[in-house]
Structures are given as structure tokens and as C-alpha cells.
Structure 1
Amino acid sequence: MTDSYSLETVNAMSDQSFVEAFGDIAEHSPWVAEGAGRYRPFQNRDEMITRFADVIQGASEETQLTLIRAHPDLAGKAALSGELTEDSKNEQAGVGLDQLNQDEFERFTDLNKRYLDRFGFPFIFAVKGATKFMILDAFVERLENDQAKEFEMALQQIARIIRFRLEDRVG
């Protein structure tokens, strides 16, 4: 279970405590929390969420690509081997990706591979509130995008994931 914090507590944290509390919000990328923490004090949770997104948008394209590539495949090898972060594991389980039948698993595996081969990074989708069918439809639709559009879509989805995670952690 992840801790929940009041905005007052968040604003009073040391830089180190802030990164310890929120360094995992962006998958394997504590630099996002480090950057967002510099904007404290936050007036409200929405400002905090915006600052996390601002840090990502202000990063170099190479750094953004590294962030995108830090995300696991949906229902992929990391899920099978138990290597997902706690947040990713809970999010994927919340939409049933941990309970796919063999045909569904093979479909996800095929789409993950096709997507990675086409774009050079994993398919990212903020799964909270979605169904496996919505995710599969998005996979198929987004495979038609060009590289630039899909890079931007990946960043938008990361921002949504961060929003959901911060909404869960900050009251």
C-alpha cells in the first residue's frame, strides 16, 4: 500500500523526502519528482500534477524517450516475471490484464511486439478506468499513427498515469 499525503505535508517535505515519496510516480524515473519538487510549495494537487507534466515536457527528446522506454509492456514479460513496479502491477491487475486467457495474452504479446518494432518504444496506455477491450482497440488504432504523433501520445499517456497516481497519493 502506498502512503497518502496531505498537500501541507508534501510542501513541508525535504527535497530528499519528496523524491523518496514520489520518485516512483514516473516509472523508474526519479528525476521527474526531483524537478517537480523544485516548484514547491504547490497551491493545490492540480498544480502539483501540472508541475510533474511540465518537467517531462521540458526534458530533452532523448530524456523523454528514456522515460517512455522505462515503461513495461502491457500484460508483457515484466508482468509474468513479477518485475512490474507496485503501481504498474496494481493498475494492470485493476483492468484484468493479470487474468488474460491464452488467446488474449497472445494478442497482447503480438501487439506489443508490432508496436515496439514500429516505434522503438513500448505502447503506453493509462489503464485506470479502461477495459482490456478498450486497450486492445487503442493498440490497433495507434499502430496507424506516425512516429511523431505516437511519441506525443506516449507522453500524454504518461502524464495521465502520473495524474492518476498523484490523485491516489495526495489528498
Structure 2
Amino acid sequence: MNTLSKLNDADDDLALSMILPLIERAPIVAKRVSEHRPFADDKALCDAILHELRKLNEEESLALFRAHPELAPNQPHLMTEASQQEQARHGLTSQDSQYREKLSSLNDQYQEKFGFPFIVALACHEDMGSVIQSFEMRLADSREAEVQRAIEQIHAVSSARVQTLSSVGNTNAESKTMHSVKSNHPTSSLAVWSGVIGGGVLFIISVVFVIGGIELGLGSPFRLGTGAFPFITGLILGALSLAICFYELRGDGLSSTPDWIGSAAICAALAVFALTAERLGLVPAAFLTVFVASLPERNLSLVSKTVLGSCVGIACWILFIELLNLPFKPFVGF
């Protein structure tokens, strides 16, 4: 009998004791989750946890957040066993950790701004560089966004613990466990669909650019023709689209339902570029294209999306206008 079967067949007290370690210091949530039994599979258990987390009111949510430990706490032995193991994987339970001073400063800034500790699913990060980068990015977010993200991260922690519990209880169950979140930008089946569809749309657009560039005339290496810019852009977009599809298809496969929001954002971004390149200039068009394409990405704040779009716009100016000397205006009237 595997662990999930034992959980389904257990009496109320035993079931609660099995669920408690999955959700950090949240006995009320654990009890509510146990009432969802029986669970058809690991995913059903994870879905029940997420359902109950999202039902919490603000007061309950804050109480749950504040029960979580900071990263690299001064008294790591006071954490739950699961938290000690998760933080120890990154060396954060050691008083000699090289990240202790940096994290102490970040912890103080985060607590002062949001009123609860920074919550992150360490299982989703390969190294501390990734953790600190996520920490610094989230400090720029709004409190509302961080409350929602804290719920998502608690669910990600629980999902990883469910997977661990299942694999310990049944060594043959690994292929049947639910998908857990794996980064500050998690990869799911929907994300794979979004990437593949986006890559396919991008490839079609690249072909149009290449053909259009050839028809307009490429010119010579010393004097580029009108079609040189779209031709070069098409080659770059084509290579990028193929790389996106290859990367996404290396994952866990496609779900039966694609992420139409992400795909629509990509198509809208391309339309924005086509409509604004001549009317506004290359820099505003590139900025708007990146900004629109990044709108569905919840891991990026509005400020981050603005900065990213600005950087791409400036990079396009330097590359295509200053270095390649292509006949495009950075801004209308410039």
C-alpha cells in the first residue's frame, strides 16, 4: 500500500498527522485539507492544499506567513524538520554561511515593507544566486502581489513535500506524482504549451520577414538595402523560435490545454510592433513589443517589465541604427 492509500484509509487523527508536515505550521489548513479525502492522486492532494490556502482571509493568511521562518535564521533548530532540511541543502542552517549577512539585510527590508517574512520554495532553486535574485526582484513588488506570491510559494513548498512523501512511501510512484513548481519562473505543462505555440508563431513571422527582406533587396555588405533589416531580423527570430521550441519540448510534454493568454500576448506584441515601428520609431516600438509580451508573466513586476522593455529598445537603437546603420528612426521626428 502506498502513502496516498494509507492517507485515504487513515482515521482523522492519523490523517491530520500525515498532512501537517506538508504545510508549514498550519494545523487549521491541514485539518481542512484532510476533509477532502479520498485523494485520487498526488495532484488531487496538492489541489486541495491550494484550494484551502486560497480560501484563507487576510488575517489567516498573515498568521500563516508569519509562522514561516526567515532564510538563514539565527536559531535554525527552531524550524520544523522539513524546513531545516530544505535550508540545509543551500547551507543556510550553518552560522558560517557566506550568505548570512546578505540575507539578514534582505530579511529586514522585506519584513519592514510587507510585514511578514520572505517565503520561497527552495526546492525550486538550484543555487543561492537564484534565490537572492528572486528575493531582490520581489522586494520591488507591491504588497498585494507579494501576498498572492506567498500563497503560491507555500503551495510550491507543499507540492515538493508531497512528491517527497510519495517517493518515500512508494519507490515506483515517481512517474505518477504531481508536477511541482521548479523556479522563480516555474515550468508547467501550460507553460510548455505557451512556449511551443509562441515559438511556432515566432517562426512563421520570421519566415515572413526573411521573404519580405529578399523581395525588398538586401543590398551589398558595404551598403545595405531596404530589405536587410527585415532579413536579418527574420534570421534572428527564426533561430530564437527554434531554440524556444527545442527547449520547451525537452520538458515533461504538452498538456491537453494550451495557455491561450500567453500565446495571445505574443501575437499582440508582434501586432504592436508592426503598427508602431513606422508611426512611433524603433525604440518605442521595441519597448511596447516587449512590454505587451511580458504582461502575462506574474513573476515580473510592472517596474521590471518597464525596465526590460526600455533596455531592449535601447539595445535595438544601438545595434540596428548605430552599428548596422539601417535606415530606421529611433523616434519619430528624431
Task: Tell me if both proteins adopt one fold, taking TM over 0.5 as the criterion.
Answer: yes
| 1:74 equivalent in alignment to 2:62 | no
**1: distance between equivalents of 2:90 and 2:98?**
17
Question: 3-state SS of the aligned residue for 1:169?
Answer: helix
Matching residue of 1:10: 7
Q: Percent identity?
A: 28
Is this contact kept in 2: 1:42–1:48, CA < 8 A?
yes
Work out the number of aligned pairs and report it: 166
**1: distance between equivalents of 2:29 and 2:75?**
22
One-letter code of the match for 1:164? A
- CA distances 1:94-115 after superposition (whole Å, capped 9, x unpaired): 1222347565211010000000
One-letter code of the match for 2:116? F
| 1:20 equivalent in alignment to 2:17 | yes
One-letter code of the match for 2:93? D
| 1:36 equivalent in alignment to 2:28 | no
| Alignment map for 1:104-123 (pairs within 5 Å) | 104-123=99-118
How far is the alpha carbon of 1:86 from its aligned partner? 0.2
Matching residue of 1:134: 130
Matching residue of 2:139: 143
Which of 27, 34, 55 in structure 1 is aligned with 2:52?
A: 55
How far is the alpha carbon of 1:66 from its aligned partner? 0.7
List structure 1 segments (4+ residues) > 6 angstroms apart after TM superposition.
Answer: none
Q: Could you state the TM-score of these two structures normalised by the residue count of structure 2?
A: 0.48
How far is the alpha carbon of 1:166 from its aligned partner? 1.1
Where does structure 2 lack aligned partners over 5 or more consecutive residues? 171-334
Q: Could you state the TM-score of these two structures normalised by the residue count of structure 1?
A: 0.91
| 1:157 equivalent in alignment to 2:153 | yes
The structure showing larger relative contact order (alpha-carbon pairs under 8 Å, at least 6 residues apart) is 1
**2: distance between equivalents of 1:15 and 1:139?**
38
Bigger radius of gyration among the two = 2
| Alignment map for 1:89-100 (pairs within 5 Å) | 89-99=84-94
**1: distance between equivalents of 2:41 and 2:148?**
26
Where does structure 1 lack aligned partners over 5 or more consecutive residues? none
One-letter code of the match for 2:123? K
| 1:84 equivalent in alignment to 2:58 | no
**2: distance between equivalents of 1:89 and 1:127?**
11
